[in-house]
Structure 1
Amino acid sequence: MEAFQVTANDKISQEQRQSSSHSSNSKQAAKPRRVRRSPNDNPMIAETTFTEGKGVAYTRWGRFDCSGPNNDLVYDGIAAGSHYSNTGGVSDFLCLHLNVSYRNGRFRDGSQGGSHTYGLEYQDSWISSLMDFSLIETHSTYQHSVPCAVCLAERRTTQLMIPGRVTCPQGWTREYTGYVMAGGHSDKHATSPICVDDTPQVVPGTQGSQPGAHLYMVETQCASLLCEPYAAGREISCVVCTL
């Protein structure tokens, strides 16, 4: 009988240790984990910390700020892209940081080969009836440089731009509405479309044509598109949503 009690007590003690070890491992697994690829790797490069994401980032084109109470401004900047007359280069527009910094290195003359980046300018002069210009003194965006802002939508995991809509799917949060814009159809290279805020701002002191990257409204054309619900020559609205 005494031997049985000792064996039972040992079993209980072992189960308690296993339970304690499992609990400890669960707590440890819940903490950020640090992983090193190789003992010989540089620890500044090889170590990766896994933490829960804070939110999702998106670019608000045409504004220096972010919308919504749960949005943080990561940085603001000036939109840029390849020259409209270039046959190659950058197809996606860039949001360049206002406080630009250059790494130490060898600087080359601008005539050397490579991809060149220019400021992005609004080129449509007739859109005053579509936009809300209450935030700019000139009440026009024509031939002004385009501002941009990179925003962080907190506690969300994905973002989506929907062309042809001003509302978001059920359960999604609307960040801003605008119009789809891209380079001109006669430009020498294609550009990816962006959703430009319908309450736009401009970069101060940039009025007047400075040849570079151009930005125009995108319009629908039928009958290649169905003439119902689409209509020829109509500007395409857009909305940026997060979830």
Structure 2
Amino acid sequence: MAKFVWSLVFTVVVFCRHFNAKNVDKRILMNDPDLFHSQIQAVQRELEKVNSHLTNTIAAQQAEIESLKQITNNRYANQGSTYTIWGKRNCPPKNGTDTVYSGIAGGGHYNRDGNGANTLCLPHNPDPAPLDFPTHFQNDDRASSSFIYGSEYQYTYRNVAVDDDVPCAVCDVANVSSIIMIPAKMTCPSKWSIEYAGVLTAASQYSGLAIREYLCVDENAEYLMDGTRQNFDGRLFYPVQAACGALPCPPYKESQLIACVVCSK
């Protein structure tokens, strides 16, 4: 808008200078109607030019605004983000949320060093590694490689029991740019939408040196339909409790189970 105002001022100034320069030696006499009429027509022509310039400028600015709106809308429409839901075979049946793939929660062994620290959602239809992948295994030396294990619940709640195998799914959420997991909450902040809520899990502190990440398992968790439901251990999902001290109590409570929620915006 400021650019347009300066353009209009410049046009008026140029017109005034032009008008004065051409008529420096002329005087409009009230008893000379022809001269007076010609001067009025000249002013009208100049005003028509200014009006035409103003109209074209406004039209160009409106077109630019509409173009910027379209670009913004397209960018927003193409936005999206992903997250993994733990304990469910599929993603929540929400508008704008699609299941990219369903899988099996997998990670390092609960009481063995090494392997990866993070947990993965392994697909049900794995592809083999390249046949020419270089290896240095000698005499089936298992110490020369890492291993990934399936996962089991270490608690019984609603639909699942101890030693049930843990499913997972990778979810694609349209029209959002951010997804966060908030521990110790079951609701999302203002302007955020809930994807799912549940219980916070991790490795047991009595299971050796292995450390596993904190993951939010859906409150209505399921078990793998093709799982064994037997005790094979592997990556174990333990519920998390509060330990008072540096963690203030209140508002927390000693041994309180910690909730969690996954939110999007």
- Give me the TM-score of the superposition, normalised by structure 1: 0.72
CA contact (8 A) 1:141 1:201 kept: no
Indicate how the Cα distance of structure 1 residues 181 and 85 shifts in structure 2: closer, same or farther if over 3 A, else same: same
For 2:80, give the aligned amino acid: G
Task: List aligned pairs for 1:1-243, cutoff 5 A.
Answer: 53-67=78-92, 68-105=94-131, 106=133, 109=140, 111-124=142-155, 127-128=156-157, 132-133=158-159, 140-187=160-207, 188-204=209-225, 205-243=227-265
Counterpart Cα distance in 2 of 1:224 and 1:157: 34
Secondary structure of 1:219's partner?
A: coil
Query: Paired residue for 1:47?
Result: none
Counterpart Cα distance in 1 of 2:241 and 2:173: 29
Greater fraction helix: 2
Query: Paired residue for 1:40?
Result: none
Indicate how the Cα distance of structure 1 residues 170 and 117 shifts in structure 2: closer, same or farther if over 3 A, else same: same
**Which of the two has higher C-alpha Rg?**
2
Q: CA RMSD in A?
A: 2.8
For 1:153, give the aligned amino acid: V
Counterpart Cα distance in 1 of 2:85 and 2:141: 30
Gaps of 5+ in 1: 1-18, 31-49, 134-139
For 2:86, give the aligned amino acid: W
Counterpart Cα distance in 1 of 2:167 and 2:173: 19
CA contact (8 A) 2:77 2:175 kept: no
Gaps of 5+ in 2: 1-59
Counterpart Cα distance in 1 of 2:81 and 2:181: 13
Secondary structure of 1:92's partner?
A: coil
Indicate how the Cα distance of structure 1 residues 81 and 180 shifts in structure 2: closer, same or farther if over 3 A, else same: same
Q: How many residues get paired? A: 195
Counterpart Cα distance in 2 of 1:225 and 1:165: 16
After TM superposition, the structure 1 stretch with the greater mean CA deviation from structure 2, 82-91 or 163-172, is 82-91
Deviations 1:182-224 (A, max 9, x none): 1111232111100000001001232111131111001001123
For 2:151, give the aligned amino acid: L
Secondary structure of 1:90's partner?
A: coil
By how many angstroms is 1:53 displaced? 3.6
Indicate how the Cα distance of structure 1 residues 110 and 76 shifts in structure 2: closer, same or farther if over 3 A, else same: farther
Indicate how the Cα distance of structure 1 residues 115 and 53 shifts in structure 2: closer, same or farther if over 3 A, else same: farther
Identity of aligned residues (%): 34
